[in-house]
Amino acid sequence: MSSMKAVIIGPGNVASQTQMIAPEAVKGHAVVQLTASALNHRDVWITKGQYPGIKEGAVMGSDGCGLYRGKEVILNPGLAWGLSEACQGDQFRVLGVPDNGTFADFISIPEEYLLPKPVHLSCLEAAALPLAGVTAYRSLISRAKAKAGERVLVTGIGGGVALMAMQFAVALHCEVYVTSSDQEKIKKAVSMGAMEGALYTDEGWHNDFLNKSGGFDVIIDGSCGSSFPLLLKMLRAGGRLAFYGATAGSIPPINPQLVFWKQLSILGSTMGSPSDFQEMVDFVTLHSIVPVIDQVFSLQDAGAAFRRMAEGRQFGKIVFDHSI
Ligand SMILES: NC(=O)c1ccc[n+]([C@@H]2O[C@H](COP(=O)([O-])OP(=O)(O)OC[C@H]3O[C@@H](n4cnc5c(N)ncnc54)[C@H](OP(=O)(O)O)[C@@H]3O)[C@@H](O)[C@H]2O)c1
């Protein structure tokens, strides 16, 4: 039995570094040596106790890249999706709490969840891809069915999923607009192909933005909260709003007449099926898309990484390099 370093969910929902026994090979499972992993907002929710099924002592982390039988692999973090493409089944769960996750030197996982690492990506970049990539792909492409030439708004562009959705929409040849709380993040998004952006923290931002852009065919949102009714106002007739998160909280009352008269679709979206995941990896490979890494930390520095995400300072993905 060998030991490994890991970040587990400890007492009081604190993310704690520890040494634990490394997993051993069992039939049908691969023991992957993880070289990199990445943080998601889910990990922050877990440390706040705001996530179902928290299991003390479980290894955290949903995203990983590593070595299995001498080959570089990435992990699909959507476990037991089930048979329907429309939605996940009762057994569905996200890798990392309650199942042991990727913030460790090794993981034991059924072989079906391993895919070859896209060759154009480094291990750190590939570790940034899985959870945000599949969530962005399903929201934008499988659910909202964004097409070339359509006008797409992605909210909160500093977020890991949001930035990936923007990259995918740019690759699709959509006309992409963004919102953020930070002008610098908007500038970075424009340098990556967005048309322009608005500060959602400014009073009346949506009126100016609606006038400038002429409205949107598709909106991808991860925050909900008080802005949600404004997003519906910014959709063109026949528009689709897909949302995958509620960082800013509940949705206030919306105007039903607006929704039925404009024939709007409001679409909830979560993670993605194994087909979504494979299609996302193929899409990323075809378009040579490289996930944006905000900052790289060691697992020993996990506390600083969690704080950066909780404070919303990042632009893109916060990644752990397991070799430092
Ligand atoms: N359903 C699913 O399958 C699924 C999958 C992944 C994530 N999620 C959820 O989706 C959310 C985002 O996840 P993530 O990992 O991408 O998080 P993240 O990297 O921490 O991004 C959060 C971003 O949200 C933006 N934001 C915060 N308040 C906002 C507001 N009032 N209006 C617009 N944008 C706002 C900020 O953007 P700026 O910095 O630009 O202001 C922030 O950077 C989380 O709630 C997460 O739990 C759900």
Ligand 1 centroid distance, CA of 22 (Å) = 33
Q: What is the model's pLDDT at position 47? A: 97
Q: Determine the atom of ligand 1 nearest the C-alpha atom of 314.
A: 43
Pocket test for ligand 1, best of 44, 223, 309 (most atoms within 8 A of CB): 223
Q: What is the model's pLDDT at position 188? A: 98
Question: Which residues contact ligand 1 via a Cβ below 6 A?
Answer: 40-42, 45, 131-132, 135, 155-162, 179-182, 185, 200, 222-223, 225, 227, 244-248, 270-271, 309, 312, 314
Q: Give me the domain span that covers residue 190.
A: 134-268
pLDDT exceeds 80 at position 1: no
pLDDT exceeds 90 at position 212: no
**38: Cβ contacts below 8 Å, ≥ 6 apart:** 61, 63, 64, 127, 128, 131, 132, 160, 317, 318, 319, 320
What value does the mean pLDDT take over residues 15-31?
95
For residue range 156-188, list pLDDT tens digits in order.
Answer: 999 999 999 999 999 999 999 999 999 999 999
For residue range 69-113, list pLDDT tens digits in order.
Answer: 999 999 999 999 999 999 999 999 999 999 999 999 999 999 999
121, 195: one domain: no
pLDDT exceeds 80 at position 256: yes
Tell me, yes or no, whether 19 lies in a domain.
Answer: yes
158, 174: one domain: yes
What value does the mean pLDDT take over residues 110-123?
98
Q: What is the model's pLDDT at position 21? A: 97
Residue type, 263: Q
Tell me, yes or no, whether 248 lies in a domain.
Answer: yes
Q: In 3D, which of 280, 277, 270 has the Cα closest to residue 244?
A: 270
Q: Is 132 left (phi over 0), alpha (psi -120 to 50) or beta?
A: alpha
301, 182: one domain: no
Q: What is the model's pLDDT at position 58? A: 97
41, 98: one domain: yes
Q: What is the model's pLDDT at position 135? A: 98
Ligand 1 centroid distance, CA of 70 (Å) = 35
CB-neighbour burial class of residue 171 (10 A; exposed 0-12, middle 13-18, buried 19+) = middle
What value does the mean pLDDT take over residues 112-124?
98
Tell me, yes or no, whether 281 lies in a domain.
Answer: no
pLDDT exceeds 90 at position 229: yes
Q: How far apart are CA 128 and CA 39, in angstroms?
A: 8
257, 141: one domain: yes
198, 81: one domain: no
Per the structure, the count of domains in the chain is: 2
Identify the band that residue 231 occupies on the pLDDT scale cut at 50, 70 and 90.
very high
264, 195: one domain: yes
Ligand 1 centroid distance, CA of 58 (Å) = 24
Q: Determine the atom of ligand 1 nearest the C-alpha atom of 181.
A: 41
For residue range 49-69, list pLDDT tens digits in order.
Answer: 999 999 999 999 999 999 999
CATH of the domain at 181: 3.90.180.10
Share of the chain above pLDDT 70, in %: 100
Q: Determine the atom of ligand 1 nearest the C-alpha atom of 244.
A: 1
296, 234: one domain: no
19, 144: one domain: no
Ligand 1 centroid distance, CA of 72 (Å) = 29
Tell me, yes or no, whether 204 lies in a domain.
Answer: yes
Ligand 1 centroid distance, CA of 2 (Å) = 37
For residue range 188-211, list pLDDT tens digits in order.
Answer: 999 999 999 999 999 999 998 899
Q: What is the model's pLDDT at position 14? A: 95
Q: How far apart are CA 199 and CA 232, in angstroms?
A: 17
217, 242: one domain: yes
For residue range 282-306, list pLDDT tens digits in order.
Answer: 999 999 999 999 999 999 999 999 9
Q: What is the model's pLDDT at position 177? A: 97
**Mean pLDDT across the chain, nearest whole number?**
97
Q: How far apart are CA 233 and CA 130, in angstroms?
A: 32
Shortest-distance Cα residue to atom 18 of ligand 1: 159
70, 50: one domain: yes
pLDDT exceeds 90 at position 25: no
Give the 3-state secondary structure of residue 12: helix
